[in-house]
Amino acid sequence: MILKRMAIFGLLAAVLAGWGMAGPAWAKSAAGPGDLPAVFFPEKIFEFAPVIEGANVVHDFVVLNKGAAPLLINNVKTG
C-alpha cells in the first residue's frame, strides 16, 4: 500500500516538475500575465484498494489546463 502511494506521489511530482520545466517555452512569447497555463488536478489523491502483490493496477489520472496558454507536460516518469 505504501509503495502504491509512493508511486502516485512520484507520478504527481514528475508531472509538476515537467510543468515547471515547460515554463521557458511559453515565457518567451508576448503573452500577458493572464495568458499562462494553469494546471489543475480534479482528483488530488487516489487510494488503490488492496491487491495481490504483482497484480497490474490501472487508474487514469486526469490533468486539466484551466489557463489560456497550452500546458506542456514533459519528462513524465513512473515511480
Q: Specify whether the CB–CB gap between 36 and 69 falls below 8 A.
A: yes
The answer to whether position 42 is within a domain reads: yes
The answer to whether position 26 is within a domain reads: yes
In the chain, the number of structural domains is 1
The answer to whether position 76 is within a domain reads: no
Q: Which residues of 60-79 are buried (b: 16+ CB within 10 A; e: fewer)?
A: eeeeeeebebebebeeeeee
Q: Specify whether the CB–CB gap between 65 and 37 falls below 8 A.
A: yes
How many residues comprise the chain? 79
Domain with 17 in it? 2-65
The segments of the chain whose pLDDT lies below 50 read: 19-24, 26-27
pLDDT score of 19? 47
- pTM, entire model: 0.49
